[in-house]
Structure 1
Amino acid sequence: MNADAAFDTPDAPDPDLPMLTAAQAAHLRELAAPYTDNGHTYSLQNLAHMCRRAPEDRWPELVETHFARLQAAGHGDESAAELLSGVHARLLPNESLTPDLVGAMRYARVVADGLVFAYALDQPTTVRILTDPDVERAGLEALGEAAYANLMRVPVAHEEVAIEGRALLHSVYGDSPFVASKALFLSELAREVTGEALPDAGALVAVPTRHLLAFHPLTDGSVADAINDLAQYALGAYQDGPGALSPRVYWWHRGGLTSLTVIDTETNTFSLQPPPELLGILKGLVRLDRAGRLAGRTAVDAPDVDQLTHTTADAIARLTQDGAGLGDAFASALELAHAHCALDPDVDRLPAWDAWATAVQLGSALFTGAQPQECHLGGDLVRQLPAVPAEPPADARAWLDAFYVAVVCRQTARIDRLCQVPLEVLRQDDSIDEYVLHWIDTLQTYWAERPMDDVVEKLLATMTTSAPDAVTRAPMDFVNLIDYQPVALFHRLITRDHDALAEALTEAVAQHATYWADSPAPRARVALGPLAMASLAYDYGFPVAGKRQYLPTYLLDRTRIEEIPG
């Protein structure tokens, strides 16, 4: 998640006004000098941005207009009522705070690298930053409430912007100089402009100018593109000005802003360095998304089964030259097995069964190795799986997929081998939450026929660590609607409570439907975890058979189960 880029500025930029050359900055300071001989210092940042976009023969006019507006601003004689009527929460760039302002604004605070929170009074021709006497006159609490309310009433326009990557950015803009300050309350803004709340993981956000902000909710694997797209977007808008605020990318999380951008002022370059907590979230989202486990907002076309069949066949064929592709081959086979269920939801035909059988073969080979064996992909299409050594990868979610399909297809010997994969290996997967490992530990302990007290202890650990305050990687809607459902079913399974399991199975199917909605993604077709638990329940004599959406009938009741090579 690192990116480096050079600031696209003219040669020899001024160190304090980098949007201008040193010569241009000296000229601007000379023009501003007559207006700044009153003992006060003024920030020239915004003025420099305006001058950068205008020919130098117009600079005297711009300077005169700029300082005329400053002089026309109020000087602190407004009543408390007038202050409350026009005050707004405001984000300011650090460099805009002159020594005079810093001494007069003890209430202001740094909210993130490069950004300061302050109160500003919106006036007909200008905006005045409030000082400590203003705050005292209106009252800090009343001023804060009014500043928030006035800011949220500022009108904005919203559009979705796709840059060069596949990530979608939400651009929010308007004429008001307070638009970017809404990043302070990004959750409320996101709900206003998109109709959806931000996810628990938060969002990436940029505030390049005071009239513009852009954000990307952390919901899926497109964050890998978004973080770079947003960095380029922010830098370009910041350089264009006027009203420049910050070229940085920030992480909005639980009401706070954290800068991800580290700027090297000596080389005029920047790098993106997410903190460890965010890096874990990003890895988790990318891993989930690449395996098709997340429901993206943008619908994708349903996969072509024939094309996916040949993709899987080619992936298996390449294993004879490069065994490192086994994980991708398993993912492709599993996607194919799910995709078949769009056309054959009961799995009562041989091509669908072949896909499920191949997923079992590749999944178990990935974690436990395999002898040479044939993989059938429907019709006369057969590929040879070469001998595979037992070198389990640190991919806990792929292990769960392999376990689930082996249970569904009643592959007892393969399940035995999967449950011997050391948990220490899977613990090396830094993209997952702790509850995933506890769940795997629960399943391995149960399958090894260890004492039920041990199983229950590990199951309770799974439940505890899947609570919202313990989850830091996966989106909570995915945890609740998808990941937790087989856990709930397993709980009912080990208590041998038929009625409770029937209710939990109905709930699991409903939650699967809620999560995926009308998505054409292959994983939407089958509730894999609940299907595995229901298959165990069926084998234990629970009355779970019968047609249920997302639970292929002829897999659940073993009608379609056949021998699998290897």
Structure 2
Amino acid sequence: MRFFRRTRRRIRDRQVEVSGRPVDDVDLDSLLALVADSLGYESTFAADGATLLLSGPREFSVRLTGLRREAARRTREDWPMLVSEHLAHAVAVVDEPLDACDLGQVRPLLRVRVFLADEIEGARVVGRHLSSDLVEVLTVGYGGAVRPVRPEEAGCWPIPAAQALDLALRNARDDERLSVSRRDLGGVAAWQLDGPTAGATAHLRHLDDYLPVPDDGVLVAVPAPGTLLVHPVEGIGVVRAIERMRLHAQREVDGREDGLSPQVYWWRDGRLTLIRADVIAQDGQVRLVVAPPPEFARLLAAIAARPPR
């Protein structure tokens, strides 16, 4: 066994000597060639290692810049899975009209969609937390052909992931306009904002373009990716509003295939904070147990202490 390990090491060292490239790049190339062969493709690397030409059932090029950056951030134990997923994805999207690794091509098609954190746990996506349980995920595409951007694709771009997410949010704000309607939730007035795509939450940061936002912020429910339900935080009636919005959001989520979150959130100063409220069934009765975060609980106490207007 030692003989074979020494032989492989000598072969690799010889490849490094001939190519003049770093050991990690040569090792990654060997793994890429092995996986490509298992998929039925012959592989030819560009001299600079930036692309890989696959020849077999189809002939096409795979960009490797983002993959190499992602591999540099991960342990070698992760490389086989990383390479396998990268080449499998490249084969799966070969017929897409645009190259997601080319920011110039996909820039206007970048959007952000919100998912429950539990739903995407372990998924290879580019995203950031909007709240403790909601994640903004970078997507590319249009119409029904929208999908998450993979880290290796975003790694090809000349901008960091956070900047790409901000770009996607600007695209949504500039290209899409939400419709606004009033809702009566059992005596609690609210605004409902709906959009033609699944990125309504992208407009949270510009909510004052649609309706007045008080200094204490607003309550927000996101029962579907294209819908926002909003109630201003202006008085102690906000406690009742939490209950009404939570139950309404639960019904919406239960009745839709694209239901998102039944919870209620507090939006203020660019932050979305979960106001956890659980529906508890006990002894044949259903009640709502609200556990507001400390900062919101302090705000409620301050509101209750204010003299009536």
TM-score, with length taken from structure 1: 0.34
Which amino acid in the other structure matches residue 192 of structure 1?
D
User: For the residues of structure 1 that align with 2:184 and 2:116, how far apart are their CA atoms?
Assistant: 27
- Tell me, yes or no, if the aligned pair for 1:114 and 1:246 is still in contact at 8 Å: no
1:151 aligns with 2:150: no
Instruction: Specify the alignment match of 2:108 in structure 1.
Output: 85
User: For the residues of structure 2 that align with 1:235 and 1:164, how far apart are their CA atoms?
Assistant: 15
- Tell me, yes or no, if the aligned pair for 1:205 and 1:213 is still in contact at 8 Å: yes
Which amino acid in the other structure matches residue 116 of structure 1?
V
1:160, CA displacement in angstroms? 1.7
Instruction: Specify the alignment match of 1:162 in structure 2.
Output: 184
User: 3-state DSSP class of the match of 2:169?
Assistant: helix
User: 3-state DSSP class of the match of 2:104?
Assistant: helix
Query: % of aligned pairs identical?
Result: 20
Instruction: Specify the alignment match of 1:245 in structure 2.
Output: 260
Instruction: Specify the alignment match of 1:236 in structure 2.
Output: 251
Structure having the higher strand fraction is 2
Change in CA separation of 1:284 and 1:112 when aligned onto 2, cut-off 3 Å: same
User: 3-state DSSP class of the match of 2:198?
Assistant: coil
- Tell me, yes or no, if the aligned pair for 1:73 and 1:126 is still in contact at 8 Å: no
Which amino acid in the other structure matches residue 124 of structure 1?
G
Change in CA separation of 1:270 and 1:134 when aligned onto 2, cut-off 3 Å: farther
- Tell me, yes or no, if the aligned pair for 1:208 and 1:246 is still in contact at 8 Å: yes
User: 3-state DSSP class of the match of 1:216?
Assistant: strand
User: 3-state DSSP class of the match of 1:204?
Assistant: strand
Deviations 1:60-105 (A, max 9, x none): xxxxxxxxxx979849833211221111122112233163x2xx23
User: For the residues of structure 2 that align with 1:258 and 1:115, how far apart are their CA atoms?
Assistant: 10
Tell me which of 292, 296, 303 is aligned to 2:308. 292
User: 3-state DSSP class of the match of 2:260?
Assistant: coil
User: For the residues of structure 2 that align with 1:226 and 1:265, how far apart are their CA atoms?
Assistant: 18
User: 3-state DSSP class of the match of 2:193?
Assistant: strand
Change in CA separation of 1:113 and 1:240 when aligned onto 2, cut-off 3 Å: farther
1:279, CA displacement in angstroms? 1.7
1:207, CA displacement in angstroms? 0.6
Provide the aligned C-alpha RMSD in A: 3.1
Tell me which of 193, 206, 215 is aligned to 2:210. 193
Which amino acid in the other structure matches residue 94 of structure 1?
A
1:111, CA displacement in angstroms? 2.8
Q: State how 1:158-237 maps to structure 2 within 5 Å.
A: 158-165=180-187, 167-183=188-204, 185=205, 188-189=206-207, 191-194=208-211, 196=212, 198-237=213-252
* Alignment length (residue pairs): 212
Tell me which of 266, 279, 284 is aligned to 2:297. 279
- Tell me, yes or no, if the aligned pair for 2:169 and 2:202 is still in contact at 8 Å: no
User: For the residues of structure 2 that align with 1:111 and 1:271, how far apart are their CA atoms?
Assistant: 23
User: 3-state DSSP class of the match of 2:210?
Assistant: helix
Deviations 1:329-353 (A, max 9, x none): xxxxxxxxxxxxxxxxxxxxxxxxx
- Structure 1 residue runs of 4 or more that deviate by more than 4 Å after TM superposition: 70-76, 262-270
User: For the residues of structure 1 that align with 2:98 and 2:278, how far apart are their CA atoms?
Assistant: 37
- Tell me, yes or no, if the aligned pair for 2:221 and 2:230 is still in contact at 8 Å: yes
- Tell me, yes or no, if the aligned pair for 1:231 and 1:248 is still in contact at 8 Å: yes
Which amino acid in the other structure matches residue 144 of structure 1?
L
User: For the residues of structure 1 that align with 2:119 and 2:220, how far apart are their CA atoms?
Assistant: 21
User: For the residues of structure 1 that align with 2:278 and 2:168, how far apart are their CA atoms?
Assistant: 31
Q: Which runs of 5+ in 2 are unaligned?
A: 1-38, 40-91
Deviates more, 1:77-86 or 1:90-99: 90-99
1:260 aligns with 2:283: no
Which amino acid in the other structure matches residue 77 of structure 1?
D
Deviations 1:119-159 (A, max 9, x none): 11132322111111222223225523421211213221101
1:285, CA displacement in angstroms? 2.5
Deviations 1:206-249 (A, max 9, x none): 11111211111212232122111111121111111122111111
Instruction: Specify the alignment match of 1:130 in structure 2.
Output: 149
Q: State how 1:328-367 maps to structure 2 within 5 Å.
A: none
Q: State how 1:356-435 maps to structure 2 within 5 Å.
A: none
Which amino acid in the other structure matches residue 156 of structure 1?
L
User: For the residues of structure 2 that align with 1:80 and 1:90, how far apart are their CA atoms?
Assistant: 19
Which amino acid in the other structure matches residue 179 of structure 2?
A
1:168, CA displacement in angstroms? 1.8
- Tell me, yes or no, if the aligned pair for 1:84 and 1:142 is still in contact at 8 Å: no
User: For the residues of structure 1 that align with 2:293 and 2:128, how far apart are their CA atoms?
Assistant: 22
User: For the residues of structure 1 that align with 2:184 and 2:95, how far apart are their CA atoms?
Assistant: 40
Which amino acid in the other structure matches residue 97 of structure 1?
I
User: For the residues of structure 1 that align with 2:141 and 2:217, how far apart are their CA atoms?
Assistant: 30
Change in CA separation of 1:245 and 1:76 when aligned onto 2, cut-off 3 Å: farther
- Tell me, yes or no, if the aligned pair for 1:118 and 1:129 is still in contact at 8 Å: yes
Which amino acid in the other structure matches residue 149 of structure 2?
L
User: For the residues of structure 2 that align with 1:211 and 1:114, how far apart are their CA atoms?
Assistant: 17
Structure having the higher helix fraction is 1
